[in-house]
Structure 1
Amino acid sequence: MAQQISVGSSLPSNVTLKYCPYDAELQNACGIPQNLELDRFKDKKVVIVGVPGAFTPTCNNTHLPEFHAHYEDLKKKGVEEVIFVTTSDPFVMDAWGKWTKTNDKIIMAADGNGEFLSAMGLIQDLTSVGFGAVRSKRFALVADHLKVTYLGVESGHGVSVSGVKAVLEAL
């Protein structure tokens, strides 16, 4: 596994995430997965949030709702896009976005093979709880023109340094 990314590092450029773009007409149907190239963020300030799994209690009940609720606060601080990522497939992430009604505010991205998360050193092995060997650590980062300006990686359960309040304070 790669060394964990740090403030001042660049986001990996040789990986592609997948996502289903928001489409209001597809609320009860699957979207069509598209590539999400990180180059899309080269001239932007973005927040990327990594979670161990879609629909899991902390991710679904705390982490994602807080970012959704404070979306406008993030925008006021110059954030142009918010991306949630986990090692799942784009259809699960699309369904999670529809379930939580994030609509076009948060990009729900999939890193099915864990290539993006592995390149950043943000993978954890959760086989002991039946989640598999390649799962995202819980984290939030701010990248400005693809350079990491904030990184909060949780060392235990719950949401603190990866939460929206910590990100807003860092902005």
Structure 2
Amino acid sequence: MTIAIGQSIPDVKIKKVAGDGAEDVNTAEFFAGRKVVLFAVPGAFTPTCTNNHLPGFVENYDAFKSRGIDDVAVLAVNDVHVMRAWARFTGAEDKLVFLADGNADFARALGLTLDLSAGGLGTRASRFSMLVEDGVVKQLNVEEAPGSAETSGAARLLEQLA
């Protein structure tokens, strides 16, 4: 079942890019006591994710921060090494928190997975964005088509924060 507004973030271990290394992150602890914008992409370095989805969150980082957001985080079903390379490639490593859900455990726990096996990509995170306050989902925007980044884009979430 897909997580809904008003529900708590599930407790799952994932990895966070941390300089040249990685940190284990417990999702319940990561979101506790803070306001976090989380957006997910089917894969790092993929065209829509890199060219259309991620840039809006980088460009609007200061606007999110001015609205009391503690962190803007991006999640993908990729390993932490790929996520680190993507952070550096996009120049967003000093703004966004890059979260690696290598086995799709968190995406599955959220009920937000996408089966891209036909294209050789396996199980991926659905494209979505959410606002999480103290571990509770306050806004949730899920894309219907993985090649689109409108419903889950930064502009939509900023409107919801107004």
Matched, 1:55 2:50: no
Aligned to 1:27: none
Q: CA shift at 1:20, angstroms?
A: 2.0
2:129 counterpart residue number: 140
What is the SS of the residue equivalent to 1:82? strand
How far off its partner does 1:128 sit? 1.6
Deviation at 1:41, TM superposition (A): 2.2
Q: In the alignment, which residue of structure 2 is the partner of 1:100? A: 90
What is aligned with 1:163? 153
Match of residue 77, structure 1, among 62, 67, 84: 67
Match of 2:3 in 1: 5
Q: CA deviation at 1:104?
A: 2.1
Determine which of 123, 141, 149 is the counterpart of 1:152. 141
Question: C-alpha offsets along residues 33-60 of structure 1, whole Å, 9 cap, x if unaligned?
Answer: 1112220321110011110000000000
Deviations along 1:86-129, one digit per CA (max 9) or x if unpaired, are: 11100000000000111221011100111111000001100122
SS of the aligned residue for 2:21 comes to coil
| Aligned residue pair count | 159
Percent sequence identity is 38
- Structure 2 residue corresponding to 1:16, chosen from 6, 13, 18: 13
SS at match of 2:74: strand
SS in 1 for 2:85: helix
Per-residue CA distance 1:58-96 (angstroms, 9 max, x = gap): 000011111001000001111110111111100000000
Q: Residue 109 of structure 2 aligns with which residue? A: 119
Pairwise CA distance, 1:152: 0.3
Task: Determine the C-alpha separation between the residues in 1 that align with 2:52 and 2:124.
Answer: 18
- For 1:104, the aligned partner's letter is D
Q: Which runs of 5+ in 2 are unaligned?
A: none
Query: What is the alpha-carbon distance in structure 2 between the residues aligned to residue 96 and residue 114 of structure 1?
Result: 18
Aligned residues: CA RMSD: 0.9
TM-score when normalising by structure 2? 0.95
SS of the equivalent of 2:24 reads strand
Q: Residues 39 and 130 of structure 2 are in contact (CA less than 8 Å); yes or no, is this contact kept in structure 1? A: yes
